[in-house]
Structure 1
Amino acid sequence: MCILHFTASQIIDPEIEAYYRVHNTRNNVRTLHTHEYYEIHFVVKGTLKHLFADGKSHVLNVGGLLFIRPDDAHVCLSANEEECHYINIAYSLNTVFELFKFLGDGFQSKRLLDSKYPPIAHLTQEEKRQFLAKFEKIVTLAIHQTALIKTSLRALLIDILVNYYSAFHFNDEPQKPDWLLHVYDEMHKKENFILGSERMVELSEKSHHHLCREFKKHFKATPTSFLNQLRLNYAANMLANSFNSITDIALDLNFNNLSHFHHLFKKQYGVTPAVFRKEQKIR
């Protein structure tokens, strides 16, 4: 089997340590290949088929995002007769290494790098709009503004890694449904998690029973325990990093029963909110 190998010097612009283009399946490389850099593929039109050396393939529709590692032998084809257009952004090995180092151990980059096939993300309609807006902002920069282009491309990569390839997306099978991942992400926003499970049901557009069953199946927790965890995490951060009163913090998080708040907090952290704050040395 013939597998081509592209070096960084062939593709990467040394001034921005990256490469960015809008490709189509009519004129891209049609042979299995690896490369000396990382790639992001984002489908903007049609359906893209990534074929790998072992015959396995991934099919991405519009809004599909793929993170390709240097050793992933692959070729990009149209999944049907329609021409497919996709954004291709390549980053140097050094750029990705430095960003992984910056993100730290909490990002768990090893899981991203060790997965058998390139990790896929499916963006919502709003996420597609935001991604395209950020990319279009980059391509409106003057070509000679290399420092700004370099920074903007790095900022986009951090956004992609943090928002779409965080550790929770790589839990073991079964694969989480897109609608459930969307709810999971949205419920991390304070405006949502303080509203409780009713907001989860609203966002999911599923029945309460179906949501609870799927959530427990995929995240090994009930929606209630998940939401309480978020609220308690937020409370602990406010106790440690603000001067708001304990009562104000609890009420702000919709803990209208202060005794219940104290009980849950002590169960989670082993001490009362007042002791926890004292231990954080907030004056």
Structure 2
Amino acid sequence: MKIFKYTAESHMGTDTESHFFTVSSLKHASPIHSHDFFELFLVTRGRALHIVNGASLPIAEGTLVFIRPDDVHYYEQEGDYDMEFINICCTKQAMDTVFAFLGDAIHPDSLLSPSLPPSIILSPMEKEQLKDRLEHIGLAGDKSRGLLRAVLVELLIHYFWQFQHKQEDPLPLWLESLLIQMKRKDNFIQGIPRMYELSGRSPGHINRVFKNRLSTTPVEYINGLRLEYAKHLLATTNLSITEISLSCGFNNLSHYYHLFKSSFGVTPLEFRARHSP
């Protein structure tokens, strides 16, 4: 299979250090390729398989991936789903400037040395905020260069700093895949039974791995996903508190209230009052 090699000069032009664009469908995505520049992509809708450096990883709405120069990757359709994503590209020189600005806050090797590109999952609210931010930058004209560099700094410091604290022994691929799959709404709503089903591992093994590798329990992890989704619904919909509780997989309203206040310091009603339009 032929691997295309994109260059910053051909992809962005000679006078551009960074830019971004939206790919509306997998039909318009690039074939298998690598490049001599950096790329962050954010999945804004749908899901797919990300084939990168020989691994096949499921990605879904909210996934943000840090692609390094020479990573070889492409996308494959998953079932009947399509995918929309935003690509943020920048030259090696621009990223060197960003790393230099960050100083000791982030060590480049923590992002550049792993065999697979670092990736994280944004909450629905975070995804929409980043998408809106980029759309406003697109209208900024001559100021867009500085604003886009600022976004790169913020993304690295806010989301990717954690990778320098990860164990040298990377997470097993089955666990990385499981974590990504559980961040889909249709999976985290079903909860623990769905996690065990997707993992193909015993409950005891899952519990031990979560404790040793993630310093949490499967239940705490799933509740965290549900609570982040609850925040999104509180801020963006008119659903009642009871409807939101059920939509997120909480069948006990009192338990939902307790977990929400313990996690965020306010009740769901107080959060809605502060954050809804």
In the superposition, the TM-score normalised over structure 2's length comes to 0.59
Q: Distance in 2 between matches of 1:84 and 1:111?
A: 29
Counting only pairs closer than 5 Å after superposition, residues 199-278 of structure 1 correspond to structure 2 as 217-218=212-213
C-alpha contact 2:38 2:90 (8 A) present in aligned 1: yes
Secondary structure, counterpart of 1:82 in structure 2? coil
Q: In structure 1, the residue corresponding to 2:27 is in which secondary structure? A: coil
> Residues 106 and 139 from structure 1, CA distance in 2 versus in 1: closer, same or farther, beyond 3 angstroms?
closer
Say which SS state the counterpart of residue 152 (structure 1) adopts.
Answer: helix
State the shift of 1:44 in Å.
0.7
Q: Deviations over 1:152-203 (max 9, x none)?
A: 1111111111111003565135569979xxxxxxxxxxxxxxxxxxxxxxxx
CA separation in 2, counterparts of 1:168 and 1:139? Answer: 29
Structure 2 residue matching 1:151: 3-state secondary structure: helix
Unaligned runs of 5+ in 1: 180-212, 222-283
> Which runs of structure 2 are paired with 1:4-153 in the superposition (5 Å)?
4-23=4-23, 24-30=25-31, 32-54=32-54, 56-141=55-140, 145-146=141-142, 148-153=143-148
Larger radius of gyration: 1
Q: List, as ranges, runs of 4+ consecutive aligned residues in structure 1 with deviation greater than 2 Å.
A: 13-16, 76-83, 167-170, 172-179, 213-221
What is the aligned-residue RMSD (CA, Å)? Answer: 2.9
Partners of 1:170 and 1:44 in 2: how far apart? 28
Give the distance between the partners of 1:79 and 1:138, measured in 2 at CA.
32
Distance in 2, Cα, partners of 1:63 & 1:169:
22
Equivalent residue pairs, number: 184
Identify if the C-alpha distance between structure 1 residues 220 and 86 changes in structure 2 by more than 3 Å, giving closer, same or farther. Answer: closer
DSSP-derived class of the 2:144 partner: helix
Tell me the equivalent position of 2:186. Answer: none
- Segments of 5+ residues of structure 2 without an aligned counterpart are 181-207, 217-277
Question: Among the aligned pairs, what percent are the same residue?
Answer: 27
Q: How far does residue 25 in structure 1 lie from its aligned partner after superposition? A: 0.8
Residues 122 and 178 in structure 1, CA contact (< 8 A), matched pair in contact too: no
